[in-house]
Amino acid sequence: MHKPKRTPKGRRSADSGERAYKAIRKQLVEFKLKPDQRINEMALAKSLGVSRTPIREALNRLASEGFIALTPNRGFFFKALDIDALLDLYELRAMIECGAFTLMCERASDAERDRLKDFWDGVKADYRERDPDDILVLDEGFHLLIAELSGNPEIVNQLKAINARIRFIRRIQIQHVSHDFDMVNTHSQIVDAAMKRDVAAGTALLKSHIEMTVSGAQRALKDALLNVYMEKSDSSSGRRASRPR
Amino acid sequence: MHKPKRTPKGRRSADSGERAYKAIRKQLVEFKLKPDQRINEMALAKSLGVSRTPIREALNRLASEGFIALTPNRGFFFKALDIDALLDLYELRAMIECGAFTLMCERASDAERDRLKDFWDGVKADYRERDPDDILVLDEGFHLLIAELSGNPEIVNQLKAINARIRFIRRIQIQHVSHDFDMVNTHSQIVDAAMKRDVAAGTALLKSHIEMTVSGAQRALKDALLNVYMEKSDSSSGRRASRPR
DNA sequence: GTCAAGAAAAGTGTAGACAATTGTGCAGAC
DNA sequence: GTCTGCACAATTGTCTACACTTTTCTTGAC
């Protein structure tokens, strides 16, 4: 009695809409498609082994989230995240995070703000030794926790949506370890400001923290675009072929 | 050149997905559905004269935008906009608009800021005499123009999305004309601050302007919910039966 | 009368087919 | 050689059908 849901052949097994959404978003986030490239629904459907219906559902969701654009009767296009859009998103992110920090200082209880401190104390020691994927998760987690402690779920949602769109760049950026050190330090300072409910210090730190990463992000994006246009069809280099995770 | 798109019979004419989206959103925005009510796709499809496919597309979009929620295998539910969510959205809106104002002061040229002044000068005279629908459009337009002048299109998008979700409440609120007067006055003061690039004054005005409307919005929401639960199924009153448009 | 279990009904999730539109290539005019 | 039409191919938008899941209804035990 271990789930009688046998899957005799290639029959419907799970929520393929959700799977399609995640798979496609992964491709977008990793720049598997070229900017402004048309997205072929049938090709996607075949490659994921489902029909066009869940594909279209996923594409519609992605369009709502700003990843892709829909032109009537011509289909979906991968919306290039150009430098301008990147700056805009970072700017919006800084704005929202500063607001969240302010609200947190005004409203979060001591116990709640302790959660932020505990979180950061728990990871800061070996933060720099972790691999980039972990760092990304932890960094997003840190900033999201501030958003949560603001007590405003809408802020959390917005921040999550923004994070998804800039995640790929941040991922590259983290590999360029240049200012990793500052990050650890700055996060600690932000925690200190939070414990003291020091709005001015915290927002100033956040603002410069995020804005400082912008120049790095620009470089990362340039690299990414270069890679995309250089074409990855030369399968010669298996640099990251057998990545364990 | 008046669109040669004839529609011989009941044949597929235009993008029914878009029409469905707008129609459904209108129903949501106007609280035609009860909070937490399950949305029946087939019924919607029949009432709009299309199949379930464009309906589902529209529902997915609306779910991405936060209007409704999707529970797997159980369908879409109208997400009640309760008092808390309303406050959260107003808070987020204030945060974003203050940020937009700041950016506008930093970056918009004199000519651009003149656009704001011209816009407001053009409508403020007979602002209070207009009907509520016009006022709503003008008010949203005023605030959106600030967002546009920030030079950050992502801010504009966010603000539009938020506006859509609180539009119904604002519409009711405007009818309760109580603080209409303050609105005209405050908008003028905001324009003044913008012309002087006075960030502190402008953001303070915006913040209190938006927060001041919160209490009104709360009352409006209470009224709306009351109406919804009082039921409109008594078709005796044809109050808005033959509404021309 | 209440509750439980099972059957029937209703509804969602996905597939596949067709209609409408857009894109492409070929033939012929100039 | 280039351009204009026109047929044909590719692709999107929508519909219908059906499998699976959830909900409702019915029936019978207690």
Taken in order of first residue, the domains within chain B and their CATH numbers are: 16-80 (1.10.10.10), 83-229 (1.20.120.530)
Interface predicted TM-score of the whole assembly (ipTM), two decimals: 0.81
CA dihedral (B114, B120, B125, B130) positive or negative? positive
CA of A15 to C1' of D9 (A): 33
Q: Is residue B183 less than 8 Å (CB to CB) from chain A? A: no
Q: Do A188 and A124 meet the contact criterion of CB atoms below 8 Å apart?
A: yes
The residue whose two tokens read 């007979």 is: B126
Q: Do B171 and B136 meet the contact criterion of CB atoms below 8 Å apart?
A: yes
| Least-confidence region, from A125-129, B56-60, B63-67 | A125-129
On the 0-12 / 13-18 / 19+ scale of CB atoms within 10 A, B126 is exposed
pLDDT band at A231 (very low <50, low <70, confident <90, very high): low
Cβ contact B99–A99 (<8 Å): yes
Residues in B touching A99 (Cβ below 8 Å): 92, 95, 99
38-67 on B, CB < 7 Å from strand C: 38-43, 52-53, 56
Query: What does the pLDDT look like over B200-237, one tens digit per residue?
Result: 999 999 999 888 778 778 888 887 778 777 654 433 33
Closest Cα of chain A to B235: distance in Å? 37
Residues in B touching A158 (Cβ below 8 Å): 92, 158
Average pLDDT over residues A99-112: 96
- Report the amino acid identity of residue B129: E
| Least-confidence region, from A23-27, A107-111, A124-128, B117-121 | A124-128
Cβ contact B57–A60 (<8 Å): yes
Output the average pLDDT for chain A. 84
Quick one: angle between helices A153-175 and A199-230, nearest 10?
Answer: 50
CA of B198 to C1' of C6 (A): 73
Query: What does the pLDDT look like over B15-46, one tens digit per residue?
Result: 788 899 999 988 888 888 888 899 999 999 99
Q: How many CB atoms lie within 10 A of CB A55?
A: 27
* Rounded distance between C-alpha atoms, residue B235 and residue B140, angstroms: 33
Q: Identify the pLDDT of residue A2.
A: 37
Closest Cα of chain B to A8: distance in Å? 22
% chain B with pLDDT above 70: 84
Shortest-distance nucleotide from A14 CA to C1': C13
Residue B208, classed as helix, strand or coil, is helix
Please enumerate in sequence order all residues whose Cβ is within 8 A of that of A198, keeping only pairs 6 or more positions apart, or say none. A105, A192
- Contacts with A, B 103-122, CB within 8 Å: 103
Cβ contact B92–A154 (<8 Å): yes
| Bases in strand D with any atom closer than 7 Å to a protein CB | 11-17, 19-23
With vertex at residue A64, the alpha carbon angle to CA B70 and CA A40, rounded to the nearest 5 degrees, is 105
Q: Identify the pLDDT of residue B30.
A: 82
Closest Cα of chain B to A13: distance in Å? 13
pLDDT band at A226 (very low <50, low <70, confident <90, very high): confident
Q: Please state, in angstroms and as integers, the Cα–Cα distance from residue B181 to each residue in B40, B176, B188, B201, following that order.
A: 43, 12, 11, 20
Output the average pLDDT for chain B. 84
Q: Identify the pLDDT of residue B235.
A: 36
Closest partner CB to B99 (pick from A64, A85, A95): A95
Q: In what order do the strands lie in the sheet with B68-71?
A: B38-39, B75-78, B68-71
Q: Do B199 and B105 meet the contact criterion of CB atoms below 8 Å apart?
A: yes
Q: Please state, in angstroms and as integers, the Cα–Cα distance from residue A101 to each residue in A44, B26, B63, B95, following that order.
A: 41, 35, 28, 12
Query: What does the pLDDT look like over B126-157, one tens digit per residue?
Result: 888 888 889 899 999 999 999 999 999 999 99
| Least-confidence region, from A99-113, A121-135, A231-245, B197-211 | A231-245
Which residue, among A51, A92, A102, A107, would best test binding to B if mutated, counting the most B CBs under 10 Å from its CB?
Answer: A92
Closest chain B residue to A151 measured between Cα atoms? B88
Q: Identify the pLDDT of residue B174.
A: 79
* Rounded distance between C-alpha atoms, residue B228 and residue B216, angstroms: 18
